[in-house]
Amino acid sequence: MLSKFPCFHCQVRKAGICRTLSDEHLSQLASTMVQRHFAAGSEIIHQEEASRVFAIVLSGTIKLSRVLHDGRQQIVGMASTQDTFGELFSKVSHDSAECVTDVTLCCFPRKRFEAFLNSHPELQHQLLLRAMDELDQARQWMLALGQKGAEEKVATFLLWLWEKQSHPAKTQSDPDEIFLVECPFTRGEIAEFLGMTLETVSRQFSKLRMADVIRLPRTKQIEITDLHALRQLAEQDRSSTSSR
């Protein structure tokens, strides 16, 4: 019976790349699937290591990063629920992947998944859209890394977190509304994300808190109390005589 196949009750199926597949095709793909769990802090794969699996994230958050010989590290991507993980058509992984929280993955042998892809162009189309979207995000991030100052970077990061969580349709909202954002990252991780040090990140958080733009009710949680101000801070105008 189809009702027994593992994806049947899966939440991700509503929105992940698998949503385009019929029950029949999906159960066919699922026959090679294995669920795996990883603890927070564990490394799933290391830069340059052979890439043998492709996976869909069922829960948790993964950070993708690249390191220099001396240990300097840059986070270059994130994957959380519904996102995919792993590089197709590549013998080795270009990034290291580490779990920010506990993570559950829905893993497929890479070769098998690639073969399946060849016979399912609509799935390949989904992957193309996703790759283009990730490219867009990466480029937006480059703009921040290359051009923005510390305050702007942190404000941009908070907005990015907020946009990732506040599900769509939040385009126009009450100016004084307060938004609670979950932030599973440490200051150090935010720093690696933004190309700065954890001390500078911390200072910027303090500054935002004192300016009543955000509150920090507890670690891992951030309240945005003045979204409008945050948006301005994320892209300050440095052309004319600056305001301070």
Cβ closer to DNA: 134 or 151? 151
Question: Least Å distance between CB 62 and a second copy?
Answer: 15
Within 8 A by CB and 6+ apart from 159, the residues are 230, 231, 234
Q: How many residues bind a second copy (CB under 8 A)?
A: 46
Question: Least Å distance between CB 235 and DNA?
Answer: 14
Site for a second copy in 111-170 (CB under 8 A): 118, 121, 124-125, 127-129, 131-132, 134-136, 138-143, 145-148
- CB under 8 A: which stretch of 22-30, 89-97, 105-113, 170-178 binds a second copy? 89-97
The kind and range of the H/E element at 151 are helix 150-165
Report the alpha-carbon distance of residue 62 to residue 95 in Å, rounded: 12
Q: How far is CA 64 from the centre of its chain?
A: 9
1, 22, 89, 174: which one contacts a second copy (CB under 8 A)?
A: 89
Within 8 A by CB and 6+ apart from 27, the residues are 2, 5, 7
Could you count the other beta carbons within 10 Å of the beta carbon of residue 59? 15
221 binds, options DNA, a second copy, none, Cβ within 5 to 8 A by partner type:
none
If you search the block for the tokens 């497929």, which residue do you land on?
A: 108
Cβ closer to a second copy: 9 or 139? 139
Is 74 buried (19+), middle (13-18) or exposed (0-12) by CB count in 10 A?
middle
Report the alpha-carbon distance of residue 82 to residue 105 in Å, rounded: 10
Residues making contact with DNA (CB under 7 A): 149-151, 186-188, 195-203, 205-206, 216, 218-219, 238
**Which spans of this chain sit near a second copy (rule: CB under 8 A)?**
64, 66, 68-74, 76-77, 87-90, 94-95, 118, 121, 124-125, 127-129, 131-132, 134-136, 138-143, 145-148, 194-195, 235-239
